Amino acid sequence: MQEDQYENESSSDGIGRRAEEIATWYFRLNGFLLIPGFIVHPDVPRPTPRTEADLLGVRLKGSSEGVWRGTREDHFRPGAKRIAMTDHAILTGPARVGTVMKHLVAMVEVKAGECAINGPWTDRETKGLAQGQSNMERALARVGFGDRSEIAQAGNAMYEHLRYEGREFVVQYFSVGRTVSSSLKNQYPKLIQITFDEIAAFLRDRFNGFPEKIPQERDISLWRGFGNSFRWWFESKGYRGAPSIESCKAAVHRFIRTGCCD
């Protein structure tokens, strides 16, 4: 598909929604507690919110998940050794400050096309408001960490860099899209941009390395939308014959366009 054609399609509500759905599954499988469509409400009635984030997530520093096996390759057999899953370094890396891992608050914007950020999160006019009144400060206060002075400090850091490193928490802005924005990369070096190709490669490693985590028939109602579509597509390739990274990328982009990985 041509780039401009994909960009035109990305204006569709359906395509945008499906792109957000893939990002939601990606953060979910990496241990984030998520609020989709997080809204900063206005102080007076008006038709639109002050701003919103496609996803607001928190990943606690001790987050861990694994399976019990005899060996790493010994799938589906009870064993005495816990094999820990490795979450994606793109997400776990930002929580590390030096040698210390901290809780990670993720503010996520998702686009079907090129990575972008939501303007009101970087609106300089709101930065100059009284303490606690800017969009960033309101959002961070709702998360519930730090005192008022730290929230103000974090808000300023987010406006400047889209990243804050605090005593216990790191706040990081992520932008998910089909391609990386070079202009954003230059303007905000600390912004983390994640492509759907990178998400597809992670999903391939996770599903191939830990098939025990893929729901069976009795659990089908627990995985819906993209998770269920990708599961069915991946399983059709067989547990031992995992699809290639390129085919996983194609399946992810196919879901964005059509709503189905097949």
DSSP codes of every residue in 118-160: -GGGG-HHHHTSSTT-SHHHHHHHHHT-S-HHHHHHHHHHHHH
* 35 contact partners, CB below 8 Å, separation of at least 6: 55, 56, 57
- Encode 141-155: b = buried (16+ Cβ within 10 Å), e = exposed: bebebbeeebbbbbb
* 124 contact partners, CB below 8 Å, separation of at least 6: 159
Q: Which residues of the chain have pLDDT under 50?
A: 1-11, 44, 47-50, 127, 130
Q: What per-residue confidence (pLDDT) applies to 7?
A: 45
Taking the C-alpha atoms of residue 114 and residue 3, their distance in angstroms, rounded to an integer, is: 10
User: pLDDT tens for residues 115-162?
Assistant: 999 866 666 555 455 455 677 888 888 888 777 888 889 988 998 999
Taking the C-alpha atoms of residue 182 and residue 203, their distance in angstroms, rounded to an integer, is: 25
The DSSP bridge partners found for residue 192 are: 174
Supply the angle between the helices 226-235 and 196-209 in degrees, to the nearest 10: 60
* 21 contact partners, CB below 8 Å, separation of at least 6: 225, 226
Q: What per-residue confidence (pLDDT) applies to 5?
A: 43
Other C-beta atoms closer than 10 Å to the C-beta of 225 total 15
Every domain of the chain and the residues it spans: 3-196
